[in-house]
Structure 1
C-alpha cells in the first residue's frame, strides 16, 4: 500500500528519542519507596507499589535477608510518552537476629505492601516496674542499715 509522507510522522519519531527506551530508562531496577518501623512486638515494612498486582510481587526470606521484588507491568497505550515507571524492582533488607522468620506475613492493599516481622519473645520490649525503697522504710524514715549506723555512732 502506498502511503503519503506526513511531516508530523517525522516529528513524532524525533520526540520518541527523548522517551524510553532511547535514554535507557526502561529495564532499570527501581527500588520502591520503603518505610521500616520497629514496635514493641514486631518490625513492619511498608513498600509503595502502586499499580502492582499481588501476583507480580515476591517476598522472599533467605537466612536473615528479606527481599521484595517484582515487576510493574506496562499498560498498553497508543501514546508516545511515559509518565509512570514500569519494569522490574527489587529491594533487600538485612533483618535483625530477633525476627521470628517462620511467622513473617505480607499483604498488598491499596498499592502498599505491608510485611510484618514478629520479634522473638526475648527481644520484645518489657516494662520493668521501678520501686522506691522509701515505701519500704520503717516509720522513722531510716533503713535498718542506717538505723544501725546511727546507733553505732552514738
Structure 2
C-alpha cells in the first residue's frame, strides 16, 4: 500500500471528534499567527534599531470619571523599579521601561516579551498634571490623573447700538 493510499485510509478512519480536534488545532495555530500580526502586545520591530531590539506596546485601559482620568496598564512580571512614568511637555503621559531576558537559561520556548515597552497618551487640558498618582499591584499599573473642575464660561451682555 502506498503512503498516499495509507494516509487516505487513515484520514477516512478518523472519527468526527478526531477531525474536530485536528481542525481546532490548526485553527488555533492560524489564530495565533494572525494575533502576532495585529495584537499590539506582540513585538513590533523598530526600523531604526537592530532586529534584536524591539519595542512592545502593553495594553492600557483609559477610563474617565467625574473627577479623574484613570489609566490601567498590564505589566505582568514587571518590577515597579523598572517602570518609568512621567509627563512630557506638560500634556503627554508616558509609561516606559525595559525587560531583559533572564540569562543562563536554555529556553525551549520563549513567548514573554523582552525589550523596551512604551505607551504615550495626550492628556486633556483639564488634567492636573502636578497631582498625578500611581501604584502597581499584581502586575497592573494604575495611574490616576485628577481633573480640574469644570468652569462655567463668563458671559457678559453687550448692548447692540
* TM-score normalised by L of structure 2: 0.58
Q: How far apart, in 1, do the equivalents of 2:71 and 2:51 lie? A: 27
2:80 counterpart (40, 54, 59): 54
- Structure possessing the higher radius of gyration over alpha carbons: 1
Give, in whole Å, the separation in 2 of the partners of 1:41 and 1:30. 31
Structure 1-normalised TM-score? 0.61
- CA separation in 2, counterparts of 1:26 and 1:87? 9
The one of 68, 74, 84 aligned to 1:42: 68
Q: Over aligned residues, Cα RMSD in angstroms?
A: 1.8
1:86 is aligned to 114
Choose the corresponding residue for 2:93, options 66, 84, 108. 66
Structure 1 stretches (4+) deviating beyond 4 angstroms? none
1-side partners of 2:53 and 2:74: how far apart?
Answer: 19
The alignment of Structure 1 onto Structure 2 pairs a total of residues equal to 101
Question: Which stretches in structure 2 are left out of the alignment for 5+ residues?
Answer: 1-44, 152-161
- Shift of the alpha carbon at 1:69? 0.2
- Structure 1: 5+ residue runs without aligned partners? 1-22, 124-154
Higher relative contact order (CA 8 A, sep 6+): 1
